[in-house]
Structure 1
Amino acid sequence: MPHSTVQRHLARIAAVAAAALALTACASAGSTSDETPAPAGSTAASGAFPVTLVNTFGETTIESQPQRVATVNWGNHDVPLALGIVPVGIQQSTYGDDDGDGVLPWTYAALEKLGATGDKLPALFDETDGIPFEQVANTEPDVVLAAYSGLTQEDYGTLSQIAPTVSYPEFAWGTSWKDMALIDGEALGRKADAQALVDDVLAQIDTALEAHPDVAGKTVAYGWIDPADTSTVGIYTPLDARVQLLSDLGLVDAPSVVKLAADTDQFYVSLSAENADTLSDVDILVVYGDDTTLATLQADPLIGKIPAVARGSVVVMPNAAPISAATSGPTVLSVPYVLDDYLDLFQAAAEHVG
């Protein structure tokens, strides 16, 4: 997700005490949600449960196959949907939501295929001000999936009062789309099926790369530059899921990016524009923006000297568009949905590289 969105996620600290009171009230009042059985084809592998998953905050044990699956934060809902399971509640998407219904297009397509649109749509959790714990509790889940997320320990503790919660393995917002699928899939007793989904997407990537021959092997940096303040260049580190997706597409983290990220466990670092020449080894620069972005960067006295900017080997991701949402927090559903269009952008940029 774009830096501005992630900052809001990471800056929010849940009011745990208030949430706990809300959860107590929910438990007393009960829930009005209808029981949603696991759909056909969602049976767990034999011997899959109980399963214990290790995450940043400890261990999560799931005793039996979940029947009511809730997901929070970015994209986790795509995993059960790809496995044929309709969650009882999912994050309400805002960034990249082109029609304002709170559901991104590839997710809606999966819900539609499973007959879960209209009045059968899962509850949409409004995470504008943090995870709405009471809304999550009202769906009466027996597991909460958040393998790709920025949960705080407080978030995790509060969600774990509701149901066993699957958090990220090591780094906030650092779980790749592949690992998200495998971790969330294992929590559902479907790790082998999740691996098959991953393998299928990787095969689609291999096929798509054949039609985009200039992409693989190019060095890349994924950045965020505020057109109103070009004094700094934000760089997403190799820990970030969107950068990991670029590696899956055959691109190579520029050595300068690797060096900038060497001493951090964060998904994002800042570089002064005065040191923009650090990025001289970047073949393709990726930034968010619009049709005016490249010209703006080329006219900047410092950023314009970055070789990739000067020669125009820049991929401008249209801000707040579905393709940007699909690749900022990639999932097993979103990657195939935009794959060809995404690679078209990189192929066009790669053609400017000498």
Structure 2
Amino acid sequence: MITSNMILAFCTVLYVGSLSATAYAEETKYPLVIEHKYGSSTILDQPKRVASLDWAGADNILALGYQPLTTRYWFGDYQDGIWPWARALLTSVPEVIQGEINYEQIAATNPDVIMASRSGISRQDYQQLSKIAPVIATLKGEGDFTMPWDRRARLLAEVLNKEIQAEALIVKIETQMAAVKKNHPDWSGKTFAMATYWNGSVGVYSGDDMTVNLISKMGLTLSPAVTELTKKGEFHVTLSEEQLGLIDADVLFWYVTGEGKKQIEALALRPYMRAFKEGREIMLPSGSLGNGALSYSSLISLPIAIEQIVPLIELAIDGDIATTVSLAK
């Protein structure tokens, strides 16, 4: 079991080690122009004050040695919307954005740049926010919530002139994933799907979803039926209950929120699924460390996510109905 002290030690070593190796190796390259879905934004000098509207955006800001002026509350019962893996790096008190975006709240933090590449902001939001500071919206060709974790980290690193530091952290995570794949040759050719029950419907995460891509990199193969459902730029596809068989796989992840577990268990066709009959389902409660770390997919959450998720896959993929596969809350 991972304790809070272990997370604190991990974060401290990860941060200090990467910082010491790269602190003096970065070069200034401003003014910097970033092209994105709403046009382009120009950053004249290296930002000192960074606000974020991104879901989980504070994590990468902390990982690169900055204090976020704002955090956007997503889920989980944690102060300031900061989960345990990031708490050790937070030394300030950020403004917490909940519900609709409050322009005045953001303006009051006096940011040099506003990160919004995983925010879902509208063009109107972008125009209003741009009156406060340069805004980095979703890049061209990307869906609002489909930009891969490493590209998102590299974008922030480019804005902050922290590319070398970010790259060191990315390489560590890629090495960790490659080791998982190497150590589990039996996963080759085994299929998986990631699903949830939300707002009265079954939903499946598409091939463009960043967490789906992460699991793929560790050796599993996304179910061909889900691949066929995938539309560019969309991370999620809603299914009717009659289509439940499309997500049957060697390993089936369920993101469980609120009353979702009861709703999933009540699905009429679930008992007929191979994943159910052979104990291949993995329940990921919304308040669990592994769910949060995987959903956040940040430079400091992913090492925790991998450590939490891999043992669950090992249990689920054996096809033993007696195996209970679920993260503790």
Give the TM-score, by structure 1 length: 0.76
Distance in 2, matches of 1:147 and 1:293, equals 29
Indicate the residue corresponding to 2:15 in structure 1: none
Distance in 2, matches of 1:42 and 1:126, equals 31
Pair 1:208–1:279, CA change in 2 (3 A): closer
The answer as to 2:154 corresponding to 1:182 is yes
Indicate the residue corresponding to 1:203 in structure 2: 175
SS state of the match for residue 81, structure 2? Answer: coil
SS state of the match for residue 77, structure 1? Answer: helix
Q: Do 1:42 and 1:85's aligned partners in 2 also have CA atoms closer than 8 Å?
A: no
Q: Do 2:70 and 2:95's aligned partners in 1 also have CA atoms closer than 8 Å?
A: yes
The Cα shift of 1:205 comes to 2.3
Pair 1:149–1:42, CA change in 2 (3 A): farther
SS state of the match for residue 88, structure 2? Answer: helix
The answer as to 2:208 corresponding to 1:242 is no
SS state of the match for residue 162, structure 1? Answer: coil
Indicate the residue corresponding to 1:125 in structure 2: 96
Residues 210-267 of structure 1 show CA distances to partners (whole Å, capped at 9, x for unaligned) of: 55565454311111125x95xx4211112222222222322222110011124x6322
Paired amino acid for 1:193:
Q
Equivalent residue runs for 1:2-81 within 5 Å: 45-81=26-62
Indicate the residue corresponding to 2:87 in structure 1: 108
The answer as to 2:226 corresponding to 1:257 is yes
Which segments of 5 or more consecutive residues in structure 2 lack a partner in the other structure? Answer: 1-18, 322-329
Distance in 2, matches of 1:242 and 1:46, equals 32
Indicate the residue corresponding to 2:11 in structure 1: none
SS state of the match for residue 131, structure 2? Answer: helix
The answer as to 2:317 corresponding to 1:350 is yes
Q: Do 1:125 and 1:136's aligned partners in 2 also have CA atoms closer than 8 Å?
A: no
Distance in 2, matches of 1:197 and 1:145, equals 20
Distance in 2, matches of 1:217 and 1:342, equals 19
Range 299-308 or range 180-189, more displaced? 299-308
Equivalent residue runs for 1:128-277 within 5 Å: 129-169=99-139, 170-209=142-181, 214-215=186-187, 217-225=189-197, 232-262=201-231, 265-277=233-245
Distance in 1, matches of 2:80 and 2:114, equals 23
Q: Do 2:252 and 2:281's aligned partners in 1 also have CA atoms closer than 8 Å?
A: yes
Indicate the residue corresponding to 1:93 in structure 2: 73
Q: Do 2:184 and 2:219's aligned partners in 1 also have CA atoms closer than 8 Å?
A: no
Q: Do 2:75 and 2:81's aligned partners in 1 also have CA atoms closer than 8 Å?
A: no
State how many pairs are aligned.
300
Pair 1:293–1:70, CA change in 2 (3 A): closer
Range 173-182 or range 215-224, more displaced? 215-224
The answer as to 2:275 corresponding to 1:308 is yes
Pair 1:44–1:130, CA change in 2 (3 A): farther
Q: Do 1:94 and 1:100's aligned partners in 2 also have CA atoms closer than 8 Å?
A: no
Distance in 2, matches of 1:101 and 1:329, equals 15
Distance in 1, matches of 2:88 and 2:185, equals 30
The Cα shift of 1:142 comes to 0.5
Pair 1:242–1:251, CA change in 2 (3 A): same
Residues 82-125 of structure 1 show CA distances to partners (whole Å, capped at 9, x for unaligned) of: 121223x121435123x4453211121222xxxx1xxxx23222
Q: Do 1:222 and 1:235's aligned partners in 2 also have CA atoms closer than 8 Å?
A: yes
Paired amino acid for 2:195:
G
Structure having greater relative contact order (Cα 8 Å, sep ≥ 6): 1
Range 142-151 or range 62-71, more displaced? 142-151
Pair 1:149–1:293, CA change in 2 (3 A): closer
Paired amino acid for 1:250:
G
The Cα shift of 1:134 comes to 1.2
Pair 1:293–1:80, CA change in 2 (3 A): closer
Q: Do 2:150 and 2:170's aligned partners in 1 also have CA atoms closer than 8 Å?
A: yes
Paired amino acid for 1:46:
E
Residues 118-164 of structure 1 show CA distances to partners (whole Å, capped at 9, x for unaligned) of: xxx2322222x222221111110101112222222222222211111
Paired amino acid for 1:124:
E
Which segments of 5 or more consecutive residues in structure 1 lack a partner in the other structure? Answer: 1-38
Identity %: 30
1:341 is matched with which residue: 299, 308, 312? 308
What is the root-mean-square deviation in Å for CA atoms of aligned residues? 2.9
Distance in 2, matches of 1:302 and 1:190, equals 50
Pair 1:298–1:214, CA change in 2 (3 A): farther
The Cα shift of 1:294 comes to 7.8
Give the TM-score, by structure 2 length: 0.81
Indicate the residue corresponding to 1:27 in structure 2: none
Indicate the residue corresponding to 2:284 in structure 1: 317
